[in-house]
Amino acid sequence: MNIVETQNLKKFFQSKKGTVKAVNDVSLNVIKGETLGIVGESGCGKTTLGRTILKLIKPTSGKIYFDEKHLFDLKLNPRKAKGMLENDGIDPKLRKSFKINKYELSPNARVSKMNPNSWRVDDDGATYLVKGEKNSLKVYGVKDITGIDDNEMRQYRKKMNIVFQDPVSALNPQMTVYDHLNRPLMIHNMVSSEDEKLRKMVDILNTMGLKAEHLIRYPHELSGGQKQRVCIARALCLEPDFLVLDEPTSALDVSVQSKILKLLDRAKEKFDVSYMFISHNINLVRAISDRLGVMYLGKLVEIGETSDVFQDPKHPYTKGLFKSVPQPDPDKRVKAPLTGEVPSPVNPPKGCAFSPRCPHSKAVCERENPDLIEAYGRKIACHIFGKENF
């Protein structure tokens, strides 16, 4: 089940030179309990993606769904089901099956198609996702947080949080660690007494390898690694379901970095939280993530199980990117596999954005933008290698 799902998410920025398509049509899901790694080079839109999902910046278009709950299954012949969902309006049979399962649809409910195997049903603020499986349709209840206002968003702020790259600028130099943890706990009414609050703070600091005495410290009295641990503690103290980690170790020394990763791993178990781990450090993401998404110029080019993608990358960009990564082994040296540079996102190449740098590029690649489609147990956006029977 998904904790977060995006459908055709777009975030464009207007600049003097034109429109920057920072996130361009990204559909992905974060499964409950997993760590989804997002890698890509600078300017590929990975940070913008993380912030847009949390609605820290407003999406240009597309949908963000949060906290999917499985409601019921419909045992149906898939062909029949398809016909039922692709008619305009709600088919009486579908309406009936909702009713049987105690989810009554109003006369205004609307069905819209999201991709070949899933549909959404909107009804008076409630959103259902209907996904086709082998012999059934699975119906999920989700919260569509795309359009809701800041007031309503507040209750979701507690459930989703972010840790930024630079802990120095993420902490207020005039506030102690206590203040940093106190504020979110008070705003969201997480505790009923001062006693309980302190216990909670100390517990979370301990999880992050810090002690109660750190509560009275100011940021300048902490080392870089300790500051980042405070940032993570602050993000975790509301017991969120979903955490975006945006390059959380890039500003730290390697010996400190591995410690933070271990603490994050431990916190994930303890608080039952799902991570979206954004980084340009591919070796790092490989170690921490269950699934991996590779971005290039605002688009996902490949997404799948981390071990699969690493063992046998399919998209030419993924291949080149992985081969460019220096390995800490002097016997395995790299031969600069990618030529050229990432083009400007203001004026991306026509067709497949990677085609000008791609050694396998054909006419179709320069003409049409490839869709992200299922193949080899993952999703790939490539005209040449994205199909299993090529």
Partner 1 sequence: MSLTVKKGEIHGLIGETGCGKSVTSLTTLGLLDNNAIIRGGKVLYKGVDLLKLKEKTLRKEVRGNEISMIFQNPSTSLNPVYTAGEQIRESIVLYQSDDKEEAQRLVLDELDRVKLPDPEDVYEKYPHELSGGMMQRIMIAMMLACNSNLLIADEPTTALDVSIQAQFLKVLEELKEKEDLSILYITHDMAVISEICDVVTVMYGGQIAETAEVHDIFNNPRHPYTKGLIHSVPGVKLNIEEFETIPGTVPRLINPPPGCRFHPRCEYAQKICKEKKPDLEYIDKDHFVACHFWEEVK
- Report the interface residues with partner 1, using CB under 8 A: 41-42, 223, 225, 253-259, 261-262, 265, 280-284, 286-288, 320-321, 323-342
Do 252 and 263 meet the contact criterion of CB atoms below 8 Å apart?
no
CB of 148 to partner 1, least distance (A): 36
CB of 111 to partner 1, least distance (A): 43
Three-class SS of 40-80: CCCCCCHHHHHHHHCCCCCCCEEEEEEEEEEEEEEECCHHH
Containing 253, the helix (H) or strand (E) segment is none
Residue whose entry in the numeric block shows the structure tokens 């390059």: 247
CB of 40 to partner 1, least distance (A): 9
Cβ proximity to partner 1: between 172 and 223 the closer is 223
Containing 280, the helix (H) or strand (E) segment is none
CB of 225 to partner 1, least distance (A): 7
Rounded to an integer, what distance in angstroms lies between the CA atom of residue 160 and that of residue 143? Answer: 13
CB of 356 to partner 1, least distance (A): 12
Cβ proximity to partner 1: between 71 and 256 the closer is 256
CB of 22 to partner 1, least distance (A): 16
Q: How far is CA 303 from CA 294, 361, 377, in A?
A: 6, 21, 10
Cβ proximity to partner 1: between 198 and 261 the closer is 261
Cβ proximity to partner 1: between 327 and 347 the closer is 327
Cβ proximity to partner 1: between 263 and 365 the closer is 263
Cβ proximity to partner 1: between 21 and 319 the closer is 319
Cβ proximity to partner 1: between 111 and 177 the closer is 177
Tell which residue, 12, 50, 80, 86, has the closest CA to residue 161. Answer: 50
CB of 76 to partner 1, least distance (A): 42
CB count within 10 Å of CB 148 equals: 16
Strand ranges (E), 61-197: 61-75, 110-115, 118-123, 126-132, 136-144, 160-163
CB count within 10 Å of CB 380 equals: 26
CA 97 and chain centroid, separation: 32
